[in-house]
Structure 1
């Protein structure tokens, strides 16, 4: 083995691809956390999000920006072309690297002879619900041993999970075969590398975290992609024949193993893919043809059900195979029904009513709206409904509202109460279903119906499946049921690219993101001086008095709401000319208010039950909050925001957050009541430093809010207009927020 060049890294880790569901940051952070002696890291970053994430790690890592949509093969090729290492380890941006893995791979490859072309590695597996489960590959790698091997004597290694990330390849070997190995079909490239290698070695230690994305979050495969799976298996068999043509015995172990893998893969794909009937029939026909033509002589058919399946596939007996599959599915259904038992009478009645309604055709002119678990006409759904009445009056809105809140509805609002017969009828027949949370689990996503998820905030705290590691936040949540609800979404509304990315990560499914802005925030750009003045008059705020909106968020680790400020003392320090508008989180609606003891003196007003909250924002000269998403909405007004974060470390640890608010706050941060009082009794709450922080915050989080979000949503969802024909988002510098109370005094 030649002496290594001291300037040449032993290993090049090539991280490649788009930042799918926000996993790239954790991967690069783990690489950056420890010195990597003899190793270089190259990030072939596909798209702006991956580039922005990777550039935080320069100059330690080499970043190669690639355009949005660049293929995996192109990203790998770009990284390999820049790599200087003697060995290459390809890691997809969605995956992870166990602690110490890079060091172990670098040390092991440095000791390998030049006769070895591929080093096989173990890996762990993660999904949205599990982390670092052992792979089935470990025992097979351990049995093979670490010495260099010829594949002909260890054909079982072909059964290892076909990932490029669970093998390192010698750089010269990769470049010699790059034309064949540069393909978007990673399983093909991973297996072909083994077939092309002269010798391989094994390292039975986990060196990759294979993060399996939820299938529902990925684009559906086209028929051509399904059929290509069969073609790839045949190409691998061709490679096996090429390497074995010099042998006397026909089609030995390597070929037989690949043939077995092809049959298994075709059967599994057909059974689990959910292909349309015509595609399934053609896939079965092509697979049957390949299996017959490629069958090794003397191969024995396995016994039992597996043998029956293989025989039917070889015969091309699509009808009989389909019947066998249906019979097995029916048996499983019966067993499940027996385990479930009889449902209660009330549930059976509801189910019967709903099923009858589902049998009726969809009403293309009916839309069901709901907000905050049926609390009333509010938030983004309310703004969408208002614009719908203007642009598409032929669509009739029906609101879902609890009996308790029905009395508070605007006059003439058509509504249904949850659980009633008409409630189930409109849910079954409406073409459009709009909500800022989720409709109940029992709601069926009918073909042709359109589910619009508007959400109700920009995420600072972790949401959806990201809550799983946090017991206080995850308490009582059924994440599988959550994702089944998410799978009903057709559209998801977003106010900024941060939110778009976090929703993709927290709610992994196949919906379309509408990067149009939050409709409820339109009013922050359409309201004029008269509207601001009218809201303040309704609240009893005299002209010239300063109004500060205090809106704290809910804490998962607290049983109820305990104000973290001595509001009476704060009001005394702020003086007669300042009014505190105090709004508790809606989760505490109905509980005894801790503000009850604070008499309405004219300086403290409990606005916890006041709707809409957008009015309170218009009325306030400044906002004081902790970690509430109201800060992202209020920032549209370009008015001062002060963050009171006395328990940031506890909140971050127990709830989980997506970014460090202390480093990226929209204004000054107070950690104690004394600091908050000091900020509000001086000019620090609105000085130049505060304005700069707010400007940076607005650039990041007020990206799509410009006063026309509701119009874009209605035109896209209800009128079916092309995305390119919608009103473009106005640049931030060209927007004019509603006038401040100070400006109109």
Structure 2
């Protein structure tokens, strides 16, 4: 028997079945099978390392009947139903299989594993919803629906929940031949226990309404009947008040949304309102209180079946919002004209030769290469007055006394117009004028593995929303481009073609990796709470363009448990396992996992870590300067390379061991493989190629050339890689 059966079912709507099958066959793990229960006898599109069953179904079959047929033929202990138009994100099936394989049997066994999902439309891919917050609230506990009734608010799809096969068969009359939305929620009502998996397992494709057949009146009315059937199911099972109240609230909210947005013909809208009103009155829980504000007024009108008054209320509300919007737009236009006038006036004034503007990461604060250059300029060119561009949200985090401006403010446009030096690790806004006397230094913020600039044009997922003409207009403002290796120099010249001068001086932010002392490293580890003698592993994954929200690719709780108390994981990523119900809460309290996602500067984390685990993040190029072990976790390399585009084969030219699964990663970290002889040789080759100009004096070279006007010949020469002495390791620092 397989652990997991993936059932792809339904009609091949608008030709999306092939994409769906590809998304499954490309990642079907051992211990899983694929059952294709789709119309017109499709065939899998790739060789699959597992069992595949293809059902030939007649054209007249419905989605519900196809789903039921697939469920009957499945042999797995757990079933995941995926509609033929949807897709399964990379890594999802392995994560789901691992989760269900670890669930206990017995009287209190889990019947439903509820996971996250994203949605895609014709114009956008991987759009996250609000389910992640609900799943985080539930944590990884095994619980009854009454313990967390808000799970009924999770998007009602069968593709984002795995069902125990025995549970499915026990309730097939309610789950197999019914609408997917009803079946998805009914599964939660019928389940003995439910658990959450905080990973995206489904990419739901939402088709354009205009591309589908128009709904009949009965299809419009169907949601009301489904909610009433669910309430009857709850009543018959004696479901507690909590879940029933949540379902009632979901029903009322959706019914009002349908009335407002569905564009129903007037007679159909009136009848829908009448049916929804009847359901709202009949199933209102005892003690239920309407929401406050406008939503409360809508609910009252619904309960009173006051359709005409609701439409009048809706019309007045639309006019009120339209008027407020018009007023806001007028204010914005007037404000923009005033700001433009002031900016143009400032541009007519002389450039201030002693004024420099710094920014980093879209105005997020003092960081990265600009911060290192600013610090060295304060030392070598103290006449330069420095002003940082920082957003209002990040301004309170600046060191006391830092002169700064908020984007869009009056003084912002003044300093942008008059500054001699403009230093940034990303581009300044399009509206910023580059004056002939000004000097623009682009420092960048990483060595490129992924495709950048014009090289992204071949990759729609990566270039979505980019205006390449505007990009080149911004690039044309550069005078200097700072690089840390020849690979970057060549890449930037191709990806950003313009008449700037490459400064092959190294990345200033990496100077600290050669300047830090043993005392500095001990101090950083103390601030992070890493006790002496423990191994610290920094886990820093990168963003994926094909995911709208960050998908955890490692089960950190299991990894920390396998590595033991002698290892602490420094986790730097997007929001992850947050909240009081976090499955990592106990590990955090024990000091085995430290969330450093918001810790700055990141260079401190590198200094504190004995080893780095990353996927495709440019942090690997910086960390290599320390000559410490690097492990690459590349579970979705093929997907990443295909969708984002890359400049070289990381698997073949990695800076250390490469793991393709969590078990392989655990084995590397649990044995000596993470720092063995082969790892050292791979790292040495990587350092020679990508740490070419980083020797601890990059910031000095930039300041002397740009701010002091010294020639290249007079600058400190780059020390060869083999002759450099990086900062001591934590192990060495502890002995000094």
TM-score range for the pair, normalised by the shorter chain length: 0.5 to 0.7
Which residue, out of 403, 409, 423, partners 2:392? 403
Q: Deviations over 1:622-662 (max 9, x none)?
A: 00000000000000000000000000000000000000000
**1:348 shift after superposition:** 1.4
Find out whether 1:482 has 2:458 as its counterpart. Answer: no
Q: Counterparts of 1:239-258 in structure 2 under 5 Å?
A: none
Q: Counterparts of 1:77-116 in structure 2 under 5 Å?
A: none
State how far apart, in whole Å, the 1-side matches of 2:660 and 2:464 are: 28
Matched length: 402
Which residue, out of 521, 534, 540, partners 1:545? 534
Find out whether 1:345 has 2:334 as its counterpart. Answer: yes
SS in structure 1 opposite 2:397? coil
**1:595 shift after superposition:** 10
Q: Counterparts of 1:562-573 in structure 2 under 5 Å?
A: 562-573=551-562
Which residue, out of 619, 624, 641, partners 1:630? 619
Which residue, out of 570, 584, 589, partners 1:598? 584
**1:447 shift after superposition:** 1.1
CA contact (8 A) 1:548 1:622 kept: yes
Q: 1:731 to 1:555 in 2, by over 3 A?
A: same
**1:347 shift after superposition:** 2.1
Find out whether 1:708 has 2:697 as its counterpart. Answer: yes
Q: 1:364 to 1:596 in 2, by over 3 A?
A: farther
Q: 1:464 to 1:596 in 2, by over 3 A?
A: farther
Find out whether 1:371 has 2:360 as its counterpart. Answer: yes
Paired residue for 1:732?
Answer: 721
State how far apart, in whole Å, the 1-side matches of 2:503 and 2:673 are: 37
State how far apart, in whole Å, the 1-side matches of 2:604 and 2:592 are: 18
Q: TM-score, normalised by structure 2?
A: 0.54
State how far apart, in whole Å, the 2-side matches of 1:582 and 1:733 are: 31
CA contact (8 A) 1:562 1:594 kept: no
CA contact (8 A) 1:388 1:714 kept: yes
Which residue, out of 407, 412, 417, partners 2:401? 412
**1:592 shift after superposition:** 6.7
State how far apart, in whole Å, the 2-side matches of 1:638 and 1:593 are: 36
CA RMSD of aligned residues (A): 1.8
Find out whether 1:435 has 2:420 as its counterpart. Answer: no
State how far apart, in whole Å, the 1-side matches of 2:513 and 2:583 are: 33
Paired residue for 1:670?
Answer: 659
CA contact (8 A) 1:370 1:436 kept: yes
State how far apart, in whole Å, the 1-side matches of 2:600 and 2:579 are: 17
**1:356 shift after superposition:** 1.0
Q: Which runs of no fewer than 5 residues in structure 1 stay unpaired?
A: 1-341
Paired residue for 2:730?
Answer: 741
Find out whether 1:682 has 2:671 as its counterpart. Answer: yes
Q: 1:383 to 1:598 in 2, by over 3 A?
A: same
**1:346 shift after superposition:** 2.6
Which residue, out of 559, 562, 569, partners 2:548? 559
CA contact (8 A) 1:372 1:437 kept: yes
State how far apart, in whole Å, the 1-side matches of 2:733 and 2:436 are: 51
**1:471 shift after superposition:** 1.0
Q: TM-score, normalised by structure 1?
A: 0.53
**1:354 shift after superposition:** 0.7
Find out whether 1:645 has 2:634 as its counterpart. Answer: yes
Q: Counterparts of 1:44-443 in structure 2 under 5 Å?
A: 344-443=333-432
State how far apart, in whole Å, the 1-side matches of 2:350 and 2:584 are: 55
State how far apart, in whole Å, the 1-side matches of 2:391 and 2:584 are: 30
Q: Deviations over 1:36-87 (max 9, x none)?
A: xxxxxxxxxxxxxxxxxxxxxxxxxxxxxxxxxxxxxxxxxxxxxxxxxxxx
CA contact (8 A) 1:464 1:507 kept: yes
Paired residue for 1:457?
Answer: 446
Q: 1:414 to 1:596 in 2, by over 3 A?
A: farther
SS in structure 2 opposite 1:367? strand
**1:594 shift after superposition:** 11
State how far apart, in whole Å, the 2-side matches of 1:563 and 1:685 are: 22
Paired residue for 1:578?
Answer: 567
State how far apart, in whole Å, the 1-side matches of 2:604 and 2:564 are: 24
CA contact (8 A) 2:557 2:583 kept: no
Find out whether 1:722 has 2:702 as its counterpart. Answer: no
Bigger drift between 673-682 and 576-585 goes to 576-585
Q: 1:674 to 1:438 in 2, by over 3 A?
A: same
State how far apart, in whole Å, the 2-side matches of 1:594 and 1:484 are: 47
SS in structure 2 opposite 1:608? coil
Find out whether 1:618 has 2:577 as its counterpart. Answer: no
Find out whether 1:694 has 2:683 as its counterpart. Answer: yes
**1:343 shift after superposition:** 9.6
Q: Deviations over 1:254-273 (max 9, x none)?
A: xxxxxxxxxxxxxxxxxxxx
SS in structure 1 opposite 2:346? helix
Q: Deviations over 1:449-498 (max 9, x none)?
A: 00000000000000001111111111111111011000000000000000
**1:593 shift after superposition:** 7.9
State how far apart, in whole Å, the 2-side matches of 1:682 and 1:646 are: 20
Runs (4+) off by over 3 Å: 591-597
State how far apart, in whole Å, the 2-side matches of 1:659 and 1:404 are: 38
SS in structure 2 opposite 1:468? helix
Q: Counterparts of 1:515-534 in structure 2 under 5 Å?
A: 515-534=504-523
